Structure 1
């Protein structure tokens, strides 16, 4: 039989456990202090220039929503600041694809007319290992990029091509 005392004891134990546990959980596991500090530093020091480059390549201020909790992988804090961690695997291909699309007035006009938002995330269950088109979608004006950071860092051209082809098909 469950008594009020046992329920209150359980709630108190649960509350104490929650206070001692790490504060965030990503889709890939527990995010500790090192990861939170490293991603905060990346977002403050490097990402503003990257986002400005994306906006410039697009030719207009397209919103870029990054699911940082999903991109923040446990144990990788020391690598976030490296250009190949997020840059070569996600942001460089995106910027290059946008530059390719906006190389002429027709591309600039088409992109501005149809692209409303860019969504960047990493879902370990659905992100492709190397078949990059499978990690992309374009629906209702949203370009969704679901790629694992810091994997196959030499595949910048393959990722760029996948993004360019998807955008060309949907614009």
Structure 2
């Protein structure tokens, strides 16, 4: 990894925007596409997530696991990561924090969110089984580039898991 990319990522980490970064194996085109996404779309998505939660909930993204090899040209497409992970998360949080009990539960009990992709455990349609809340940590394991029209299903799966905080 070049020193300029490493410095940029360190700056983002220190600013609290990117937590749990694990870029080790992607090729240079994939690394560049990941950084471009982080600097543009992810910053906006993270802002929406924090606003929806009502606080700066840490969001750890395992970029290496969600960056499928050979797909770098698609990382910035809304249907690749944005509508698969981040929009449904923000929408689910917004729904729960729209009333006092939900807002208090989310702000008091949600410690962090972990986004990753494990092909051996992920599905493109059974979203409820791919979201888990354990000890205040929300784990999301959706396949990148899943069907765009399934935002509502992913939002519902995330919301259902978060409702256990109530």
Q: Which has the larger radius of gyration?
A: 1
Unaligned runs of 5+ in 1: 1-22, 26-30
CA deviation string 1:48-83 (max 9, x = no partner): 111011000000111111111111111111111111
Question: 1:86 aligns to what SS in structure 2?
Answer: helix
So what's the TM-score if we normalise by structure 1? 0.81
Residue 91, structure 1, aligned to residue 86, structure 2: yes
Identify the residue that residue 159 of structure 1 maps to in structure 2. 154
So what's the TM-score if we normalise by structure 2? 0.83
C-alpha distance in structure 1 between counterparts of 2:24 and 2:62, whole Å: 13
Identify the residue that residue 77 of structure 1 maps to in structure 2. 72
Identify the residue that residue 128 of structure 1 maps to in structure 2. 123
Give the aligned CA root-mean-square deviation in angstroms. 1.3
Unaligned runs of 5+ in 2: 1-22
Counterpart mapping for 1:4-153 below 5 A? 24-25=24-25, 31-153=26-148
User: How many corresponding residue pairs?
Assistant: 144
Q: Which one has a larger percent strand, Structure 1 or Structure 2?
A: 1
Runs of 4+ with deviation above 6 angstroms: none
Identify the residue that residue 168 of structure 1 maps to in structure 2. 163
C-alpha distance in structure 2 between counterparts of 1:127 and 1:60, whole Å: 28
